[in-house]
Structures are given as C-alpha cells and as structure tokens.
Amino acid sequence: MSTKKPDTVTITVLTSGLSLPGPSNPNAIWATAGRTALRGEVVEVERSETLDRNGDSWLDMDDEAQLARWSVVRFRVGDHVEAEGIRYIGEDDERITYRRREREVHEARKIADAVQRKAELNRIYALYGAPDSGQRTLSEG
C-alpha cells in the first residue's frame, strides 16, 4: 500500500538558483512559466509540475539525495527560515546583497541626527559587513 503524497508542497529555498516549475503554457511547444528562486523564499510547489519521466519528484529528495545530485542542499520541505538563520531573501546572492546594502546606506545618510545616522550605519555594517575603504565618507567616521 503506497502513501499518497500531498499535491502541493511548501519548501524553504536554501540556495539561490533553484529552478522552480510553473504551470505549463498551452501556447508553448515545451516551455513552462518557471522561475529561479532565491535563498530564503518559502514557496508552494505543485508536485505534478516536478515529476520526471519516471514519475519521480525532486520534492522527495532528502538532504543526502540532494548532496549526491547537486553537491549542495537546495531546499527543505516546510518553512525553515528561522531555523536556518536566513536574514533576508537572496542573502547568498552578491548582487542582491550589494543592492540592499547600498539602498539602506543611501537612506541612512539622509538621517539628519548624527547619532541616529551613525547608529543606523553601524546596524547596516553589522548586517552586511563594513564598506571597502573607498566606500567610506568622512561623515561616517
């Protein structure tokens, strides 16, 4: 007797770059409306969209199977954002981290009060790391 698996599975993406399926497009010859997920996203995936030609789904892969196939654990079933210590979506993508940091620094520099501005910049540096020496301004100290 086989156990019925859920039709929709919630996963936490642990490594940016996981390709997620999308619904098939009746006007396309072979393409679907898939996308690439970022670390920290919690998404629902339709099992039927992940089946290979043998009827197997990558959603059934445990950590060991993922390591054997991809040399990295790309996802975990369920919502594990807090357990994995994920700070923000896409934190392992340098481009996203750079853009987030730059946007936050830009906003922090608008703070008129010098003490509050310094505190906010210190918070940003603690989260993203200190800037390169060429990125600091005299007003930041």
For the chain, which residues make up each domain, given as ranges?
A: 8-77, 94-140
Of residues 12 and 22, the one with the higher pLDDT is 12
Asked if residue 122 has pLDDT above 80, the reply is: yes
- Between CA 109 and CA 115 the distance in angstroms is 11
Asked if residue 140 has pLDDT above 80, the reply is: no
Residues 128 and 122 sit within 8 Å (Cβ to Cβ): no
29-57 residue pLDDT tens: 666 677 888 888 899 998 888 888 998 99
| pLDDT confidence of residue 12 | 92
Asked if residue 135 has pLDDT above 60, the reply is: no
- Between CA 122 and CA 131 the distance in angstroms is 11
Q: Measuring CA to CA, how many Å separate 131 from each of 41, 86, 91, 102?
A: 27, 21, 17, 10
Which of 50-59, 78-87, 93-102, 125-134 has maximum average pLDDT? 50-59
Of 72, 15, 20, nearest to 38 (Cα)?
15
Residues 77 and 10 sit within 8 Å (Cβ to Cβ): yes
| pLDDT confidence of residue 128 | 82
| pLDDT confidence of residue 134 | 59
Asked if residue 112 has pLDDT above 70, the reply is: yes
| pLDDT confidence of residue 52 | 87
Q: Which amino acid is at 14?
A: L
